[in-house]
Structures are given as C-alpha cells and as structure tokens.
Structure 1
Amino acid sequence: MRALNHCLAVTSVLVCSLVLGVQSALAAELAAGAPQTYVVQSGDTLWSIAGRFLRDPWLWSEVYEANPGIGDPDLIYPGDVLELRMVGGEPRIRRSRSASGRGSPRVVKLSPQVRSSSLTEAVPTISIAAIGPFLTQPYVADSDDIRRASYVVGFPDEHLIAGVNDSIYVRKIRSADQTDFQVLRPGDELRDPDSNELLGYEAVFVANAALERVGDPAKLKVVRMERQVSIGDRVIPASAEQPLVNFFPKPAPSGTRGRIISVLNGVSQIGRYDVVVLNLGSRDRVSAGDTFEVYVGGGKARDDVRRGMAANDWLKEGPLSSEFWLGQEWERKGWRRDEPSPDSSFPIHADWRRNKGEYVRPFERSGVLMVFRTFDRVSFGIVLHANRFINVGDWIAPPPA
C-alpha cells in the first residue's frame, strides 16, 4: 500500500502499474541476462548460481522456493534444473521436480568407462577451498587462556622444528582421556578500533598432533601440519566441530555496522577470497551466511588547497599580497612566547598560523563479504567481490533494504 501511494504521488497511474507489474519495491532485481532455466554444474557454488539470476546475490533466500516433500528441500545438487518465473511481479526461482531426480538414485554417466557415481554432495555456498582451513580450526581465542595452555618445550631428536611424523614434547598433559590435539601459535590481540575493547586473540593454526604418552613433558606425534612446529607453540584439545558448508546467503541484521579488524595470511591489501576478521560476533546477532557491504571512507583527509600546499584559486590574491597572508587562509593563534628572550616582559611577536583545513572522505562501496564462522565477539568473513582494495579498518554494513 505504501509503494502504491508513493507511485500515485510521484507519477501517473499508468507508470505506477508498470512499475508494480515488473518488480515490486525492487525487493530482488534480476541480473542482466538472467536465464529462464539453469542446470547446476559440478563446481558451482550457491553464490555463483545466485549471481546468475540476481543483481544482489544475497537476496537469494527471498526468491528461492524450496521443493517440499522431496528430501533436503533447501539443498541444490549438480544436475538440478533451476527455473525462473515471475509471481505477482516478483522473481521466483524453483528447482524442477522432474529434472532433479528426487525419489530416484542420483547418477551421472562417465565415459569411456561404463559406471555411475552417486552425487551426494550438495552445492556449497562458497568455494570451500578458500575457507576450508578456517572452518574447524579455532583461529580466535576468546580470552588469553591460549597463552596459559600447554606448550611445546622440545623435541626428542634435538630438532629445532618438527614436521609430519615427528614427535614433540609438551608440558603438562597428565590424562589420556583426550588423544587428539591442535598446535597453535599465539598471535596479536584483536581490539575494537572504536572502543578499544579486547575481543580476543588471533591464534595461527600450526598442526594436528596425536598423544603418544602422557606426562610432563608428554610426547605427541605430528600427524598433519600447515606450518612447522616450533618451541613455544601452544597445544590444546582438538575441536570436534564439523565444517558448515551449506547455508544461505542473506543480508546481515539491520543496524549491525562494524569494522574489519584483521586479515589472515599476511595480506596487506585485501581482495577477493581473502579472509578477514570482523568486530561483530554472535552477541551482535551475526551468523553464518550474513552478507555485508564494505565501505571505505569516513576518515579525515587534508585539504592541501586550504593548507597552501597545492595551487590556489587563480581568482584569489597572490602570495605577495597581504590579503593572502592575513586573510581566511591564516589565523592569529596568540602571541609567541620566549621571543626575543624568555625574560621579555611582553611577547612582541604575533603567532600566525594557516588554517589546518580538513575534510571528511565520503563513504564509497568497495566490496561485498560474507560471514562463514562466528565467535562470541568476532567473526570470520570471506570477500566475495572487491571493486577496489579493501583495508583493515574499513567499515561494513548490511546491504541497503
């Protein structure tokens, strides 16, 4: 009703009816060249599929109609046929029941071999290769407990570092109830850039290790590693958390504005598929699949023209005129002390200084990221699109409604 009243107030009934007939309130706008049907391919992601149909892929959950009564109605598999149709002037995307093969074995024929393979893996939301190491490893410690955890104290063979199949000595593991461990390297503090609140500690994943013998020191064997184990690395019980690969992209909760506070893997300028840490977590209602737009700007920048560091307006007085030196560009801040000497009864030199001209940079959209793992006070996000370099400290906000 509100959209109708707005249309009547702005334009004619004819134009209003055309707007409402094509797309209602621009809830989900189709991408240029959106197909009427699409066959899901192996290697597709939910994000890439959504981008084929929608200008804003994060609105996928608003237009996708799950098929009820056919098992895993929300999941999409290779071979499924997705159909685009308009309902009440708004796009709707639905999986074709007959083409999807629901209720019968899902097979794909391979040649020249005569065999078939079951396609049991649903299409993931985003490329798991880009975030796989971050799905189960605790890269953020909510407190400094990691600094007080058991630690690598040495190696049986007097090595300086250890790799796969090497043994390591670890302080104070006295129980055999836990046999699987993770080796972590304590990193920097994560603080909120605005309030300076301590949000947690980065913890770089080093390796997985299996308990061989309890004691002080205990003996563990490295069974998998991302980097070589060094003396001082912390050792904690391994997490049993399973990777979360199937979730729908959706706009982040309204009002959840935040900042990028760190980037992983030593990247200085952030781009597509880089993993970043956000100063928002589950306490801020953020969950896996939440999509944010990234903005650069909001900070103060120097006005070189007002500061006299760049070419001034040619219509103004030149630097040889008194107006230039004593006009708007300069202000008297007081009197200079200690001139000509600290014993002077009265300062005789006026203190003239240029206005320190500054302006606030407008916010400009620089990319899109999606949260894929949350902690209490921070979250991991992956950059899905970047139209310029993104930096630590940049702002994030939900897509416009």
Structure 2
Amino acid sequence: MRALKRCLAATSVVLCSMLLGVQSATSAELAADAPQTYVVQSGDTLWSIAGRFLRDPWLWSEVYEANPGIGDPNLIYPGDVLELRMVGGEPRIRRSRGASGQGGARVVRLSPQVRSSSLTEAVPTISIAAIGPFLTQPYVADSDEIKRASYVVGFPDEHLLAGVNDSIYVRKIRSADQTRFHVLRPGDELRDPDSNELLGYEATFVASAALERVGDPAKLKVVRMERAVSIGDRVIPASEERPLVNFFPKPAPSGARGRIISVLNGVSQIGRYDVVVLNLGERDRVSVGDTFEMYIGGEKAPDDVRRGMNLQRPPAESPFSSGFWLGPDWERKGWLRDEPDADSSLPIHADWRRNQSQYVTPFERSGLLMVFRTFDRVSFGIVLKANRSLHVGDWLAPPPA
C-alpha cells in the first residue's frame, strides 16, 4: 500500500509538472523585433532585457534557461551574451557558452572555476535607484504596531528637534536585547477603498538610532537621519538590513485583483517609475516580482444624451413651463400630493427630480507595475509602463494567461 501511495504521489508530481510545462511553454511570445543574440550592457535591467526578447516581459522566467555551475545561475552580468533558440517550436534564452563580453570566442581552460562577483554587479530586475530608499526602511506601519510603539518624549538638552549625534528620550524600552531602532512619523491611514478596512499607516522614515540606556524613558542616540526627530515620533526595532535580492518578474496570482491606494513621495499623478501602495499583501498571496496590469474605468459617468444635456432647448419652449426654468436635466417623477385637474394652470405639487442617468466606464489597460516589497496587507509596486495618466484608486489585475 505504501509503495502504491508513493507511486501515485510520484505520478501526480509528474502530471503536474507536465501540465505546468505545457502552460508555460505556450504562453510566452517573442517580441516583433526580438534579436537572435544580445550582449548585456552596463545599465541594463532584467526588465529591459526581457522586453527586447518577449512581448510580455513578466514571462521571462518561463523562457530563460539558467547556466549551471557559475555561482547563482539566475544572475546576469554585463558582458554576458544571451542567445535566442527555438526548442520544440518554443523560445528559449540562454547565455551563450564560450562567449566573451564582446561577442567573440574565447579559449576556456578545463579546470574547476568559480565565478565570483558582487551581487550589486549583477543586472538588477529594475532600476535600483528608483526603489533603493524603499527596500529596507519601514514605510508602512501596522495599526496595532503604531499603537503599541514607544515614542519620543523629550531631549536631554531641551532641544525642540534632534539630529545626528543628538540623544533622545523614548518611553518604555526596558530590554537591551535590541540595540538598533527606526524612528518613524505616522502619516495618513491606508484604507481599502472597497471595504474601508484599515490596512496600516503610511509612515515616514525619520532616522535610525542606537540604544544608549534602557529605562522609561530610555536614552537613544541618533546615528542617521533624513529629517529632524521631533516629540511624538514613534520608535520601533530596526529590521535587519538585508542586501538587495534580485528576483524574476512573474504574473501575479490568479484572482489577485486590487487597487492603488497611495503614491509615495508626494506625487499626485502617477507615471513611470513612481512607487505606489497596493491594497494587496502577503495574505493575498502577493510576493516580490509579481506583475500586475493597471486599468482605469469602472466608474460611473453621466449619460448626457439620456439626460438631454447635449440637446438644445427647443426655441419655442414656453417660459411658463417648469422645464424651461429647471432645465433638461430635470424631469417630473410624479406628484407629491393631490394631482391637479388637467385644466389646472399651475402644477403646484409636481415632484421634480434631477435625471441621474449614468453609465459605467469600461476598463482600459493603462500600464504595468511590479511588486518589489510586501507587507501583510499592503505592498509596494513600481510603475514600469504607463500608457496614460494614472491615479490613486485605479484597478489592478494579473496579466491575462
């Protein structure tokens, strides 16, 4: 029986692998001007390279064949030569063996080698300059975390503000287990536009501080700052500064539809390379590298034809009629009471209401974004493509399969 179960399990794995293979093999299409080979240049990003080869760059991981035996085989470096091949009628992209950074052949010694390069030298998925400040600094704070967090209560030298190398007093830090802290300034609430659920607070990074003395108040020293520390700023333990982890773009999970709920850096209209906040997070199966298509539409708009707004008022309309004074966007719904006789000269009790004829605007694709940092209930995404003006409240959906 155990052998049968193992056999069935193995068969299921094989069948799933085959199904996944069929699905991925048929979904990626080449760009119209896809090159046969491409030499990776300094300044390239994985997204820009994927766009050279594929119509849908987020499907890169389905066609890229990593070379084994060279450190992290998924990383691509300036000078690498990428070669497009067709395997079974499907595109495959691989680093050309024996290729130099200039496209010529080179002699390879047959001896064990390890390719050693700093991660920062590898081609990043997207422009690091655009998202660098948001990779480790905690810009979204959980509502409960903010309520429980310690806070700046004063300064030893009676300052009104504190800067680098200044000390600050912070309420209730009683353990020396944690010695590094972030100072945050709570901002606007982040709420789900559909359910009105409080998803967190948009918190501004103020400074980093080191513990000098525990207590209530505890004493901390500001070691790095982006803005002056003030009384009332919240203090939370600093997460470990993680090095940048490269990742492949991939389609967002099926059914993960959401909205843009905020845009960072004080921008009102959203464009390419702007960082936005999504009302989707880890609880919604969203992870780093997930790609969403953005849509405008789904809003109610007035039907001016049905309302008569675009029709000229008949020139013979009498000024003694109610429609003359109320306008064409009003119509009589009935009578409030006591409908008068047909010979009555004044419809005193007529119930006039504004014509609310409306239609719902269709959804239209407006751009692409990719998630680069996730929290429990929200995520950060960077806009990679914008076909038209984008706004807070626009819709998100996975790319079509």
Task: Give me the identity figure in percent.
Answer: 86
The change in CA–CA distance for 1:159 and 1:232 in structure 2 (over 3 A counts) is same
Q: 2:314 — aligned with what?
A: 318
5 Å-filtered alignment, 1:221-240, equals 221-240=221-240
Aligned in 2, Cα 1:361/1:167: closer, same or farther, shift over 3 Å?
Answer: same
The whole-number CA distance in structure 2 between the counterparts of 1:180 and 1:138 is 14
Aligned length: 358
User: Is the contact between residue 367 and residue 385 of structure 2 (CA under 8 Å) also seen in structure 1?
Assistant: yes
The separation in 1 between residues aligned to 2:54 and 2:142, in whole angstroms, is: 37
Structure 1: where are the runs of 5+ without partners?
1-23, 108-116, 340-346
Question: Residue 306 of structure 2 corresponds to which residue in structure 1?
Answer: 306
Q: Report the CA distance shift for 1:200/1:212 in structure 2 as closer, same or farther (over 3 A).
A: same
Give the Cα–Cα distance (whole angstroms) in 2 for the partners of residues 319 and 353 of structure 1: 23
Q: Is the 8 A contact 1:153 1:231 kept in 2?
A: yes
CA contact (8 A) 2:338 2:349 kept: no
Q: 1:384 to 1:139 in 2, by over 3 A?
A: same
Deviation at 1:271, TM superposition (A): 1.0
2:146 and 2:25 mapped to 1: Cα distance? Answer: 50
Aligned partners of 1:118 and 1:376: how far apart in 2? 31
> Superposed, which structure 2 residues align to 1:146-185 within 5 Å?
146-185=146-185
**Aligned twin of 1:342:** none
Tell me how far apart the structure 1 counterparts of residues 239 and 132 of structure 2 sit (CA, whole Å).
Answer: 15
Q: Deviations over 1:4-45 (max 9, x none)?
A: xxxxxxxxxxxxxxxxxxxx9972222232221111122221
**Hey, what does 1:16 align to over in structure 2?**
none
Change (3 A) 1:338 1:144: farther
Alpha-carbon offset, residue 368 of structure 1 = 0.4
- Look up the match of 1:364: 364
Q: What is the CA–CA distance in structure 2 between the aligned matches of 1:223 and 1:241, rounded to whole Å? A: 15
Instruction: Please state whether the residue corresponding to 1:210 is helix, strand or coil.
Output: strand
Match of 2:46 in 1: 46
CA contact (8 A) 1:319 1:325 kept: no
1:231–1:56 distance in 2 versus 1, CA, 3 Å: same
Shift of 1:81: 0.9
State the match for 2:67 in structure 1: 67
Instruction: Look up the match of 2:13.
Output: none
Change (3 A) 1:329 1:232: closer
- C-alpha contact (below 8 Å) 2:70/2:114 kept by paired residues: no
Pairwise CA distance, 1:398: 0.7
Distance 1:338 1:171 in 2: 71
Per the TM alignment, residue 94 of structure 1 is displaced from its structure 2 partner at its CA by 0.5
User: In structure 2, do the counterparts of structure 1 residues 100 and 372 end up closer, same or farther at CA, with 3 Å as the change threshold?
Assistant: farther
Asked if the contact 1:147/1:234 (under 8 Å) is kept, the reply is no
CA distance in 2, matches of 1:243, 1:319: 74
- 1:124 Cα shift? 1.4
Q: Provide the C-alpha distance between the structure 1 equivalents of 2:295 and 2:120, rounded to a whole number of angstroms.
A: 39
| TM-score, structure 1 normalization | 0.81
Stretches of structure 2 lacking an aligned partner (at least 5 in a row): 1-23, 102-107, 340-346
Residue identity in the other structure for 1:378 = V
- Mapped partners of 1:238, 1:97: distance in 2: 44
Deviations 1:231-269 (A, max 9, x none): 110011110151443110001111111111111111111
| Deviating more after overlay: 375-384 vs 349-358 | 349-358
Q: TM-score, normalised by structure 2?
A: 0.81
